[in-house]
Amino acid sequence: MQRAKSILLAAVYCLSVFVIFPNNVYAMHIMEGFLPMNWAAFWMIVMLPFLIMGLRSINNTIKDSPNLKMLLAMSGAFAFVLSALKIPSVTGSSSHPTGVGLGAILFGPSAMSVLGVIILIFQAVLLAHGGLTTLGANAFSMAVVGPFVSYGIYKGLQKLGVSRGICVFFAAAVGDFMTYITTSLQLALAFPSAQGGVMASAVKFMSIFAITQIPLAISEGLLTVLVFNLLSTYSSKELLALEVFSNKKHDNEVKA
């Protein structure tokens, strides 16, 4: 079964390589100053409620079970590592994964909104990567859309009875990919083409931001499965406390 899975994954990857193959594209967060002021402000305001929700959610989790603090720190650290790794992509340029899927599966999406914003501030201030004016927009794509998509996919597939590894893979990979789709849409909304409007711009930005991301999203999916496997071996008590396995069958697997 695992071998079939691996072959499938490899096939999906190769397919995505050969279907789309543009030259020298670049995919990362929106650069400092590159969103008009009104859009920058708009995304900051949209971001706020998620941040407040996230702080509350983290507070509740920690209050209920203080021993989960370390796992929370680990989830943040995982996202920290992944967003520092600029990985070469088949398009001939580099981009980085986001790493927020793991935390979203474990602690819920809004908790990752808080951790994501911390990472983005770090990168904007110290690395000139992303930016403070574009923080709202970048946070919305990486720390809201990404985690919420990951969480939704994980819970959805789990309900359908899909095996745990596959749930985690798709949650992390699609969450990562949707982050960059959101980035493209945000830029398209701010810079609609004279001809074709927002849609034409969206296609253009997606060809820059989203395609490079496909192989990286697959990498992030695989890596998240790896870490999740390790966690369910060594840290199953914490995962059970977080009700990551809602399914009885999965519970038994872990206990066994």
Partner 1 sequence: MKQVVKNIILVVLIIALAVLPFIIKSGAEFAGADDQAEKAISTINSNYQPWFKSVWEPPSSEVESFLFALQAALGSGIVSFYLGYKKGQKSRNEVRQHDSY
Shortest distance (Å) from residue 52 CB to partner 1 = 25
Does 10 bind partner 1 (CB under 8 A)? Our answer is yes
Question: For tokens 């699609």, what's the residue?
Answer: 174
d(CA 38, CA 53): 24
Question: What are the distances in angstroms from CA 129 to CA 99, 114, 210, 238, 256?
Answer: 16, 18, 18, 34, 45
- In sign, the C-alpha dihedral spanning 190, 193, 198, 203 is negative
Does 241 bind partner 1 (CB under 8 A)? Our answer is no
Interface residue with partner 1 among 44, 53, 55, 80 (CB under 8 A) is 80
Interface residue with partner 1 among 141, 158, 179, 201 (CB under 8 A) is 201
User: Between residues 53 and 77, which has the closer beta carbon with respect to partner 1?
Assistant: 77
Does 166 bind partner 1 (CB under 8 A)? Our answer is no
Does 163 bind partner 1 (CB under 8 A)? Our answer is no
Question: For tokens 């982050």, what's the residue?
Answer: 179
Does 152 bind partner 1 (CB under 8 A)? Our answer is no
Q: Using DSSP, how many helices (H) and how many strands (E) does the chain show? A: 12, 2
Shortest distance (Å) from residue 197 CB to partner 1 = 10
Does 67 bind partner 1 (CB under 8 A)? Our answer is no
Does 2 bind partner 1 (CB under 8 A)? Our answer is yes
Does 219 bind partner 1 (CB under 8 A)? Our answer is yes
Query: CB within 8 A of 113, min separation 6: which ones?
Result: 47, 50, 51, 53, 54, 139, 143, 144, 147
Q: At residue 87, what are phi and psi to the nearest 5 degrees?
A: -105, 135
User: Between residues 33 and 161, which has the closer beta carbon with respect to partner 1?
Assistant: 33
Interface residue with partner 1 among 11, 48, 125, 199 (CB under 8 A) is 125
User: Between residues 109 and 215, which has the closer beta carbon with respect to partner 1?
Assistant: 215
